[in-house]
Structure 1
Amino acid sequence: MKLFFLKIKIFKQFLLILCFFGISHQLFAQTETFKLKVDSAFERLIAVADTDGDKKITVEDDPKMPFLIPHSQGDSVAIREIYYLSNLLQELAVARAQNKDSVEISIDRIKEPPTQRISRRIETQFWDDLTRTIDRKGIQKILRDTKASDGVQRLYVPATDTSGIRYYKDLQQELSGFEVVVLPEKITPQYVKSINDKPGLLALKIENDRGVPFVVPGGRFNEMYGWDSYFEGVGLLIDGRIDLAKAMVDNFVYQINHYGKILNANRSYYLTRTQPPFMSSFVREVYEAMEVKDEAWLREALNAAIKEYEQVWMEEGERLTGNGLNRYYAQGIGIPPETEKGHFNEVLQEFAEKYGLKVSEFVEQYQSGTIDAPEVDEYFLHDRSLRESGHDTSWRLENRAAHLNTVDLNSLLYKYEKDFEFLIDEYFDEHFTTSAGKKYTDDYWEEKAETRKALVNEYLWNEQDGSFYDYNFKTGEQTKYISATNFYPLWSGLASEAQAERMVPQLMQDLKAQGGILSSAKSSVEKTATNDVQRQWDYPYGWAPHQMLLWQGLLDYGYEEEAYELIYRWLWMITKNAVDYNGTIPEKYNVVDATHKVYAEYGNVGTEFDYITTSGFGWMNASYQLGLELLPKQYRERLNELVTPKNAGF
């Protein structure tokens, strides 16, 4: 009789284990949810499964026994798989952060399919965790800057924002160690250099005594970035967060009106630098997502976008070059202050030797203005312009960025012109008058776009290679550097059908890797690099914005098979890394090896966390949501099973 009951108990435990791994049995329907003591379960789980002690449960751990979840009937469910153990750890970490003594966790949550889990957490947790406001409620979360060596937390406010000055001056009285600085009306490179040792945050829009919210990329990037914001906005719109995406456009309008540009990011050392222009696309996509159209909002946003186009991009001798095309051109004096000490030592060694100085001595004298070194000034003009391009850094732009009419920038400005044409035609009866009284028609912008297309084809298109390349207007030559940015004309609609037919096979041949689209071709890096430093916007790395733009471009031109393959590769890589490494969603990937383990300059933001990532990374989150939105549903189950691209038929 004892043997009989022992067999029954063993059989019940066996069924519970099967239930956990997806085989249900009506006898144990009540075991779908377990109540756990948070601290004790957490400590037991870490002891069993985090064998390398890195405060994560990953495939690099080697648990010697399963983790047992006790059941009220005296039985236990054994959890063995790393992914399930990791999910349980994350659920317990959330409960600990909420100071809960006990928590109910469902088996369904522990064994949640990975694409569903990642997407759900992006939609319901990550966006909120990345949202900031610069007001009484939110300022402490964003104000701190590791570069503020004197311990004072500063906020710089535009002289033209009188209500903002009043609000923040009042707030200054309430907070210790907080200083409000009113900027001069005219911002010069000399002024920006003068405050490099007093860095601070730049104010954004205040409305009804509350800061207008925005999303930050994550990690050490705790401010509103220019082009990141557009891609984050794409993800927000997919997840139904229209108000937050609209608020980010409102902050861009504020930046254009008060700082004269969309900032690289809202920190004081970025005052003379913008980023790749996506304002027109952001405005158009937010407006089209509105259930109730707010024409007054569209008018204000379109007015600001045209102002940015004219004042930032079309000033000849600055970002507009003599041939009618555009370049990145970031003004400034000296070494970019956001870089870590010693970052440029190898470059500056050569110049220091010319002056018979140690590098540290040369840097000190150059920064103080004691040494006049035009060749060093030019190097840093290119470096700042490279950073303005968003591609910091890449051998494509090294020591020549300010001399290049780049494919990406001119494609983006073509998109501006086409968006302006569309918006004025569709919503303003073919005529639009700016707040400054300047009148525009849709035909005007159509002509601007056609003029740019002709110039791009003249200078940037290579008929022999069937490719667009950046054009060096100083040397009069194309760079022939193979980069993902060469394919932006697919996204902007600038390429002809015949050009696309030649470009797409090259994209798949030169830039397709195991985990998606490479930033650049290995062959181009090998021909151009002057040392062995791996630049993060080059081979073997891949980035979310390139994927998102080229997926959409391929689909727009009818190349669905290629688009779906590239989407699948990217989502498979993200999903597999999240499954294997405790939910990690980082800034970038090595797409050749399909891993988040990156050994390039600046490391990989989003990989350093304890027990659970609460935010992922802004545009990476967006790329995941967009990929799932675009990919046919039959592929999702293959992703959940981590079927490799090859075995998925690609």
Structure 2
Amino acid sequence: MPVFNINQNFNRLLKAEDIDGDKKITVDDKGPKRFNLISINGKSFEVCGTFHLSILLQELYLAKKDGKDELDISKEMIFQLPVDRASSLIKNYFWKGLTRRIDESNIKASVTDSKTHSEKTYIYIPPRDEFAFKYFKNIQIKHKDLNLSVEKLPPIITDKYLHVLNKKPGLLVLALKKDKSGTTSGVPFVVPGGRFNEMYGWDSYFESLGLINDGRIDLAIAMAENFFYQIEHYGKILNANRTYYLNRSQPPFLTSFIREIWENIEEKNKAWLKNALQYAIKEYHNVWVGKDRLTSTGLSRYFGSGSGMPPETEPEHFDAVLKPFAKKYKMAIPQFRQKYLSFEISVPELEDYFLHDRAVRESGHDTSYRIDSVCAHLNTVDLNSLLFKYEMDIAHFIKQEFSDRFNYQGKIHKSSDWLKRAKIRKELIDKLMWDTKRGFFFDYNFVLKKKTNYESAVTFYPLWAKLASKKQASILIKRALPLLEEAGGIAASTKKSRGKVSKNRHAKQWDYPNGWAPHQMILWQGMKNYGYHSHSARLAYKWLFTILKNFVDYSGTIPEKYDVVSRTHKVFAEYGNVGTEFEYITKEGFGWMNASFQIGLKYLSKKLIVKLNKLIPPEWIFNNNFQGEK
């Protein structure tokens, strides 16, 4: 195996091929795309093409970073197949780069938050976790250089207290554990990546699918344990563990999370499952069918308590919303914003807007014209499909694992109790949301008492939850799928429903032409549930082709989302695209995108994987009129 001087080849390669100076080699660099590696013996080895040159740069960089002067380079290292390279990086490198623990050894990485700016770094402890309070107080004393302030939350979080917290935002601690030697460490979790450096609700479920696939069920279990801690100490699975997320949750996937773990773990621990099910039932009752979220229809809604603008957004994020009010009060927008946030000005119309905005953010679909300015008045297809799945999963566990008798808070639950809940929910969804003629499930506005008619990818959630009838599934595939399927996968909405965008009506990231990993994975599994395997394969191929083409052309980029019409990661709606800014090699990818690649491969035959490695566009493989075949 030839040996190469790292610095000499590294510097020559950058000078020859990194034309735009961004410390990556991509298709946008207009270099020769042909480089001769020179071994320490003076022998020349040619490497051609963007992808292989980018691998070479990455491997030289990693060796250089490790302090090496020389590197053995084999053809197997440089001339990897794209699928193998992407899958290997996700499994062996990206998951590690995204893993966090909140403890003394990881405190600096965990508290980092680019979404806020504060002189001090605040860490907040739940009122009943005295052990955590003492542990982190000790860290505060020992590490004065970190400028930490450890504070205990009050037993009741009021809107007034939330506004106090907004002026000193900080990290909410998660579970701690002691090993046999008595050493305390944080229970680990995976973050999405980039500016999202905390544990997110629904992201964690999809990340866990990838982790379990990649042999990291231990980390998936740890993340579930952190969810249990959140339900116990914060009252809900949080949007994420920062103070500005205390007032809202995210789409509920806990029973699916538990089921994935239980069905894949080798050693079954019934005590663990019992504890997990207790927390799922608690979350269901206290959050999703609690007084704030259960509506007059009998179905649930997304809802976030509080008032005013969400502090985690960029200051200018709501300028278009604030502009007419600033004009009315004859103020510049920054001045109006400051006075509104300090309660010097009260604007009922804005409070209504932000009531809905908090619900939008709890939905995870922040933001979309589907739910903008109306979300708190909607029984959404996605939420109620997820709760139907909860009810069916809980019934399944009670019957299959607990002999059809489960004690929750002194009351015996039987599977029939939960099946009845699911039956009622399905009947309501069919009555209020299903449109046979158009072939869509639509969100229901319980204030206006009518369907919204906004065509979006959440129409496929009933397939994933096994809520749809076989007839409904067939109609969805014949009518809804052709409207949402694009060159690179499923779009979040149709162009028609999104409407025109302009400088006064900006594009929103959860709308056409963008596609998102959770929507793809939900649809693949939903198709599979009803026997539409060829559809799952086609849609998975389209999505994986989009990921891999951008990965190959842009130095291993795996971002938060894609434009599935143009099959590009260059998406600039709202705050841009997380996961695209890095030097030499990305350390993370993006959580649920990583998972979607690993999971998507399971839907492809060996022949399709061969085609994917050759980057054959899907239109060369699949008939455009494929819809409807089974």
The TM-score range, normalised by the shorter chain, is over 0.9
Give the alignment partner of residue 537 of structure 1, picking from 505, 510, 515.
510
Partner of 1:189: 159
1:627 counterpart = 2:627 = no
Corresponding letter in the other structure for 1:396: R
| SS of residue paired to 1:594 | coil
1:427 counterpart = 2:395 = no
Partner of 1:351: 325
1:180 counterpart = 2:150 = yes
Q: For residues 196-217 of structure 1, what are the alpha-carbon distances to aligned partners after superposition, in whole Å with 9 as ceiling and x for unaligned?
A: 0101000000011110000000
Give the alignment partner of residue 579 of structure 2, picking from 606, 621, 630.
606
| SS of residue paired to 1:391 | coil
1:36 counterpart = 2:38 = no
| SS of residue paired to 1:195 | helix
Partner of 1:587: 560
**Residues in 1 aligned to 2:174 and 2:119: alpha-carbon distance in whole angstroms:** 22
Query: Is the 2:440–2:480 contact (alpha carbons within 8 Å) kept by the matching residues of 1?
Result: no
Shift of 1:507: 3.5
Partner of 1:314: 289
Identical-residue share of aligned pairs (%): 50
**Residues in 2 aligned to 1:398 and 1:304: alpha-carbon distance in whole angstroms:** 31
Corresponding letter in the other structure for 1:495: A
Shift of 1:162: 1.5
Corresponding letter in the other structure for 1:64: P
Q: Which residues of structure 1 form unaligned runs of 5+?
A: 1-32
**Residues in 2 aligned to 1:189 and 1:96: alpha-carbon distance in whole angstroms:** 51
Structure 1 residues 433 and 373 mapped into 2: Cα distance closer, same or farther (>3 Å)? Answer: same
Partner of 2:67: 99
1:564 counterpart = 2:537 = yes
**Residues in 2 aligned to 1:168 and 1:538: alpha-carbon distance in whole angstroms:** 42
Give the alignment partner of residue 48 of structure 2, picking from 80, 87, 105.
80
Query: Is the 1:229–1:248 contact (alpha carbons within 8 Å) kept by the matching residues of 2?
Result: yes
Structure 1 residues 195 and 102 mapped into 2: Cα distance closer, same or farther (>3 Å)? Answer: same
| SS of residue paired to 2:3 | strand
1:364 counterpart = 2:338 = yes
Query: Is the 1:147–1:199 contact (alpha carbons within 8 Å) kept by the matching residues of 2?
Result: no
Shift of 1:94: 1.2
> Higher mean Cα deviation, 54-63 or 590-599?
54-63
Query: Is the 1:382–1:398 contact (alpha carbons within 8 Å) kept by the matching residues of 2?
Result: yes
Structure 1 residues 50 and 147 mapped into 2: Cα distance closer, same or farther (>3 Å)? Answer: closer
**Residues in 2 aligned to 1:445 and 1:35: alpha-carbon distance in whole angstroms:** 65
Task: Provide the aligned C-alpha RMSD in A.
Answer: 1.5
1:342 counterpart = 2:312 = no
**Residues in 2 aligned to 1:470 and 1:527: alpha-carbon distance in whole angstroms:** 21
> Higher mean Cα deviation, 346-355 or 462-471?
346-355
Corresponding letter in the other structure for 1:393: T
| SS of residue paired to 2:238 | coil
Counterparts of 1:293-304 in structure 2 under 5 Å? 293-304=268-279
Query: Is the 1:148–1:198 contact (alpha carbons within 8 Å) kept by the matching residues of 2?
Result: no
Query: Is the 1:564–1:631 contact (alpha carbons within 8 Å) kept by the matching residues of 2?
Result: yes
**Residues in 1 aligned to 2:448 and 2:298: alpha-carbon distance in whole angstroms:** 16
**Residues in 2 aligned to 1:206 and 1:246: alpha-carbon distance in whole angstroms:** 14
| SS of residue paired to 2:619 | coil
Corresponding letter in the other structure for 2:545: W
Partner of 2:307: 333
Shift of 1:467: 1.6
**Residues in 2 aligned to 1:73 and 1:93: alpha-carbon distance in whole angstroms:** 21
Structure 1 residues 324 and 109 mapped into 2: Cα distance closer, same or farther (>3 Å)? Answer: same
1:46 counterpart = 2:14 = yes
**Residues in 1 aligned to 2:449 and 2:39: alpha-carbon distance in whole angstroms:** 75
Q: For residues 591-636 of structure 1, what are the alpha-carbon distances to aligned partners after superposition, in whole Å with 9 as ceiling and x for unaligned?
A: 1000011121110010000011111000000000000122112101
Shift of 1:74: 4.4
| SS of residue paired to 1:630 | coil
- Give the structure-1-normalised TM-score: 0.93
Query: Is the 2:391–2:422 contact (alpha carbons within 8 Å) kept by the matching residues of 1?
Result: yes
1:385 counterpart = 2:359 = yes
Partner of 2:628: none
| SS of residue paired to 1:608 | coil
Shift of 1:529: 8.9
1:203 counterpart = 2:173 = yes
Q: For residues 466-485 of structure 1, what are the alpha-carbon distances to aligned partners after superposition, in whole Å with 9 as ceiling and x for unaligned?
A: 22100111111111000001
Query: Is the 1:252–1:262 contact (alpha carbons within 8 Å) kept by the matching residues of 2?
Result: yes
Shift of 1:396: 0.4
Query: Is the 1:585–1:617 contact (alpha carbons within 8 Å) kept by the matching residues of 2?
Result: yes
| SS of residue paired to 2:534 | helix
**Residues in 2 aligned to 1:146 and 1:71: alpha-carbon distance in whole angstroms:** 42
Counterparts of 1:463-482 in structure 2 under 5 Å? 463-482=436-455
Corresponding letter in the other structure for 2:462: P
Corresponding letter in the other structure for 2:63: A
Shift of 1:60: 1.5
**Residues in 1 aligned to 2:91 and 2:283: alpha-carbon distance in whole angstroms:** 31
| SS of residue paired to 2:602 | helix
Query: Is the 1:395–1:528 contact (alpha carbons within 8 Å) kept by the matching residues of 2?
Result: no
Structure 1 residues 530 and 294 mapped into 2: Cα distance closer, same or farther (>3 Å)? Answer: farther
Query: Is the 1:93–1:611 contact (alpha carbons within 8 Å) kept by the matching residues of 2?
Result: yes
Corresponding letter in the other structure for 2:347: A
| SS of residue paired to 1:292 | coil
Structure 1 residues 649 and 372 mapped into 2: Cα distance closer, same or farther (>3 Å)? Answer: closer
**Residues in 1 aligned to 2:501 and 2:576: alpha-carbon distance in whole angstroms:** 22
Structure 1 residues 37 and 280 mapped into 2: Cα distance closer, same or farther (>3 Å)? Answer: same
Q: If you compute each CA radius of gyration, which structure gives the higher value, 1 or 2?
A: 1
**Residues in 2 aligned to 1:370 and 1:153: alpha-carbon distance in whole angstroms:** 28
- Give the structure-2-normalised TM-score: 0.96
Corresponding letter in the other structure for 1:263: L
> Higher mean Cα deviation, 359-368 or 77-86?
359-368
1:162 counterpart = 2:130 = yes
Structure 1 residues 119 and 71 mapped into 2: Cα distance closer, same or farther (>3 Å)? Answer: same
**Residues in 2 aligned to 1:148 and 1:555: alpha-carbon distance in whole angstroms:** 42
